[in-house]
Amino acid sequence: MTKAEVYEKAWVLAQKNDFSIVDEIYHPDYKSFDFRTGIYANLEDDKVIVSTLDEECTYGPFEIIYENDEFLCFYKYVKSQLEGENEPSFETFMHALNYKDGKIIKQKTTVQDLDFDPSEYFDWNWEDYE
């Protein structure tokens, strides 16, 4: 399994409050600056954020931009359905992960809102990822 596949599996399970893989792949000294809040976040902070999301996210396909033993960069498509909203929203997430001793020590994530459903332009559909 690629690092991106393991990362995706870990956070899909984390949305169901199963952090077992997350705990395995993150370095004990992990921290990262959160641009949304303006503070450094550690792994426990990230777990709280994921476990309290009020939206249902479907992670679509991803593409690895670069991967080696010390760094991974990839992007993925995400469909979010806010509770009480009729229409989903669509985004792309780009993750840049630094590794130390084989575990994630630092990560940066950027999000780009999309004004279209990406599955309508590519050869895949959301049902394959639900």
Which numeric CATH code is attached to 3-129?
Answer: 3.10.450.50
- Paired strand residues for 66: 73
What is the pTM for the complete model shown? 0.87
Q: Where are the domains of the chain?
A: 3-129
Contacts of residue 5, defined as CB under 8 A and 6 or more positions apart, other chains included, come to none
pLDDT digits (tens, 9 = 90+) for 70-118: 999 999 999 998 777 789 999 999 999 999 999 999 999 888 999 999 9
What Å distances lie between residue 78 and 12, 34, 130, CA to CA?
A: 12, 19, 11
Contacts of residue 126, defined as CB under 8 A and 6 or more positions apart, other chains included, come to 58, 60, 79, 119
pLDDT digits (tens, 9 = 90+) for 15-67: 888 999 999 999 999 998 877 778 888 999 889 888 776 568 888 999 999 99
Exposure string over 43-72, b if 16+ CB within 10 A, otherwise e: beebbeebeeeeeebbbbebeeeeeeeeeb
